[in-house]
A and B are shown apart, each in its own frame.
Chain A
């Protein structure tokens, strides 16, 4: 018996969502009275792998030859290590969704994604998950002896244990039918799904040339920038910034909605955030019904003042 966690890395580094998954696995292992084994794919230094010990992992199995984008190879490599695991934990990332469902089909075990809390019961396994684009929370049960759970980013707290882990390198030569040709990434960008603070703006900003103040506010707060769907559709901002029901899901500690009306599709994707602030000229804007704090006012006057005040606060 054990709990297995897939610890995703990006260019050799783990992220918050990785440690969240490890923390979740470690708390689950505590309930079951067992240990956590992590699986890492791709080149990750032993210093980085060591960090997993602090989140309750006792052993890391590293398959450095496997590229995570090759879902077949990743699935086959993980399937070889699952042995006697009862629960397999993933973070619900785009890459995990290429691996976890395959693994579910290969091992013939049930999968629950978008999980937002520890199991309500372990026999049978019952967990809460987000459904209907965050408009509802579903209690789901897994009918198979083994379960795969994919945890929604930013929904489970990091728990540092101060522990250590051993590392075992496993040589695998799994190869799927896909070739990874390359990638393009904007460096230094904070991930929207993991960010603690997200500064988001909508059509109320009138044009792409006005995003300077949004970026400045975000930078000041160490926040990610996001936007409403029409803003991405007209090309003012990249598609990757589109949040909402048909875009990315935000579950930040703090979400700023600047010049965003608060359409149901927008709110669905962002309302898992703990605190939401709306800045809008229209006192009737639906966002004020969902926000915790609000200012009825012109973004072009309010945001520069906000920047000044936060600069003062940060000294």
Chain B
């Protein structure tokens, strides 16, 4: 089974987010980039599936050269090879189209993306790839079993889970539950050494026209100082919530 995992390189979750150029650009100065957490669950699931059934795991990203340390990390975790489409990802549609164009030439049995990336939170790339390749797609996927050519999948729905099945190829928008937090893998020394010699192919981007454009950014309004209420006067908190904030 050939598995492709789509990887997005995102600011570490502890990052403070700032903007430059008159608030028109994300300020990456001092930011540590990591594998998008939803993608890391998918990558780990791909490793588990490969170990059980054989096959290959290839990662693919649309990004400029600054994303390579994150890509090397996916190789250190265990992916066999990587493809980087050389373009700063700026729009869901063009990102998806670059990936879908590659996958048309190089088909996979299973395509795992994250349900959303933690930078722009678009959550649109996986569904678009599925449509462009005319494949079934399951979003917010929190369970996946493969037997022969068939996938049994669960997805998170409000208040529960829905169970679905499809034959491969299939596109997944993954999240926690694909594997548990405790199953995530930290690259070991051997993995890191091997990653250096694993193939990382760089392909030039072919599409340039974005469907959406980012104009500017702002930060949410600062909160006023917290009103502290004495722990012996809980009635006062209820009073404030009822009469001042009017939320209960």
A interface residues, Cβ below 8 angstroms from B: 10, 15, 69, 71-72, 75, 92-95, 97-106, 108-114, 126, 130-144, 176-187, 189, 191, 193, 197, 221, 233, 239-240, 242, 245-247, 253-254, 264-265, 268, 271-272, 274-275, 277-278, 288-298, 301-302, 305-306, 309-310, 313
Contact = CB atoms under 8 A, between A and B. Distances in A.
A313 B245 contact: no
Of listed B165, B180, B231, residue having the most chain A CB within 10 A: B231
Of listed B91, B115, B135, B215, residue having the most chain A CB within 10 A: B215
Given A178-B138, A191-B159, A302-B234, A97 B115 contact: yes
A271 B220 contact: yes
Given A94-B156, A184-B161, A191-B158, A294 B215 contact: no
B173 to A, nearest CB: 7
A108 B100 CA distance: 14
Contacts of A293: 226-229, 237, 240-241, 245
Given A97-B124, A176-B136, A302-B231, A289 B226 contact: yes
Q: Is the interface of B mostly helix, strand, loop or mixed?
A: mixed
Contact of B241 (A75, A114, A254): A254
A75 B166 contact: no
A224 B36 CA distance: 28
B162 A274 contact: no
A246 B13 contact: yes
B248 A254 contact: yes
Q: Is the interface of A mostly helix, strand, loop or mixed?
A: mixed
Interface of B: 11, 13-14, 16-17, 19, 26, 37-38, 91-93, 96, 115-116, 118-128, 130-132, 135-140, 142, 152, 155-167, 173, 176-177, 180-182, 209-220, 223-224, 226-231, 234-235, 237-238, 240-242, 245, 247-248
B229 A294 contact: yes
Contacts of B237: 277, 293, 295, 306, 309
A305 B163 contact: no
Contact of A275 (B135, B158, B165, B241): B241
A93 B127 CA distance: 13
Nearest to A271: B220
Contacts of A108: 211
Given A265-B14, A293-B245, A189 B139 contact: no
Given A110-B212, A275-B241, A310-B248, A69 B181 contact: no
A288 B210 CA distance: 42
A99 B160 CA distance: 19
Nearest to A110: B211
Given A110-B93, A132-B121, A135-B17, A101 B212 contact: no
**8 tightest A-B contacts by CB?**
A297-B231, A101-B127, A185-B160, A110-B211, A105-B131, A101-B124, A102-B131, A254-B247
